[in-house]
């Protein structure tokens, strides 16, 4: 049985991944305590309420994991935030609140710092045990430039670049890393950012389970086989 850490596991894709991997020993992480408790109960998993934008909370989290687990087989970085709006439109009512400077910082901290911090913090554990696997739930915005979402593009391109930069270094330590890059997904991701998309657009998106199945496919590969990046999107979403 694998010990698998999943960040952002209280909702959406993270929740779907937890459900599909419930036969493993899951360590669920999120800031949404109420939903996190429900997912942990449903999957019979351990959970930690942790804000991955806070370095002190991450240090405390990793210290506790080291005390309670002999190994960490896999880290799945799923925590993320959405932000939208051309730079020329950020003062318009639809985008103004979403693009306040403090929220832009929170998005960058969650999508970029949180992912990098979790990888950096888990790497010594995996290096010591001699193996490991990391999966980042990235985005199509991490592999192509989508002009209406410049800040989101910047955050996802940033983590994509980080993954590319450390890929060889991790491989030298028998650690695999993969970016799973979905297109539009049918979750409340956009609604929680006050940017709910029209139903006809949402209907062209993947389901959270589609992404979870992609993650499981990557996890089920033999350890000597690695996929640096995998793109997945609904056939209608082009």
Domain ranges of the chain: 3-232
Q: Are 57 and 37 in contact (CB under 8 A)?
A: no
Question: Going by C-beta distance under 8 Å and a sequence separation of 6 or more, which residues neighbour residue 48?
Answer: 27, 28, 29, 61, 64
199 strand-pairing partners: none
Q: What is the CATH number of domain 3-232?
A: 3.40.50.720
Q: How many residues does the chain have?
A: 238
| The predicted structure's pLDDT at residue 226 | 96
| The predicted structure's pLDDT at residue 197 | 87
| The predicted structure's pLDDT at residue 168 | 98
Q: Please count the other Cβ atoms lying within 10 Å of the Cβ belonging to residue 166.
A: 17
Determine the average pLDDT of the residues in 205-213: 97
The whole-angstrom separation of Cα 185 and Cα 234 is 9
Which token pair is 144?
């192509």
The whole-angstrom separation of Cα 162 and Cα 145 is 17
**Model confidence band, residue 8 (pLDDT cutoffs 50, 70, 90):** very high
35-44 b/e (C-beta count within 10 Å ≥ 16 → b): bbeebbeebe
The whole-angstrom separation of Cα 128 and Cα 125 is 5
Q: Rg (Cα) of the chain, in Å, rounded? A: 17
Which token pair is 53?
């934008």
The whole-angstrom separation of Cα 221 and Cα 232 is 17
Q: Are 5 and 58 in contact (CB under 8 A)?
A: no
| The predicted structure's pLDDT at residue 173 | 98
What DSSP character marks residue 205?
Answer: S
Q: Please count the other Cβ atoms lying within 10 Å of the Cβ belonging to residue 190.
A: 18
Which token pair is 114?
């949180």
The whole-angstrom separation of Cα 107 and Cα 158 is 12
**Average pLDDT value for the chain:** 96
Largest CA distance in the chain: 52
**What is the tens place of the pLDDT at every residue in 102-157?**
999 999 999 999 999 999 999 999 999 999 999 999 999 999 988 899 999 999 99
* Residue 202 reports pLDDT greater than 80: yes
**Model confidence band, residue 50 (pLDDT cutoffs 50, 70, 90):** very high
């Amino acid at each position: 049985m694998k010990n698998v850490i999943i960040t952002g596991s209280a909702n959406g894709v993270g929740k779907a991944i937890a459900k599909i991997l419930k036969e493993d020993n899951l360590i669920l992480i999120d800031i949404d305590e109420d939903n996190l408790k429900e997912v942990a109960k449903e999957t019979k998993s351990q959970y930690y309420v942790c804000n991955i934008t806070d370095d002190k909370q991450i240090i405390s989290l990793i210290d506790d994991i080291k005390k309670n687990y002999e190994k960490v087989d896999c880290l799945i970085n799923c925590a993320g935030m959405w932000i939208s709006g051309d730079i020329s439109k950020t003062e318009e009512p639809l985008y103004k609140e979403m693009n306040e400077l403090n929220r832009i910082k929170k998005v960058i901290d969650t999508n970029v710092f949180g992912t990098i911090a979790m990888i950096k913090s888990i790497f010594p554990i995996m290096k010591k045990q001699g193996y490991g696997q990391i999966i980042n739930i990235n985005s199509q915005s991490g592999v192509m430039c989508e002009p209406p979402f410049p800040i989101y593009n910047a955050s996802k391109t940033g983590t994509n670049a980080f993954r590319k930069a450390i890929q060889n270094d991790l491989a030298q330590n028998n650690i695999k890393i993969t970016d799973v890059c979905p297109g539009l997904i049918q979750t409340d991701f956009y609604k929680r950012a006050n940017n709910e998309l029209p139903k006809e657009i949402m209907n062209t998106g993947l389901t959270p389970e589609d992404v979870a199945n992609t993650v499981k496919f990557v996890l089920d590969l033999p350890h000597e086989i690695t996929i640096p990046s995998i793109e997945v999107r609904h056939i209608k979403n082009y």
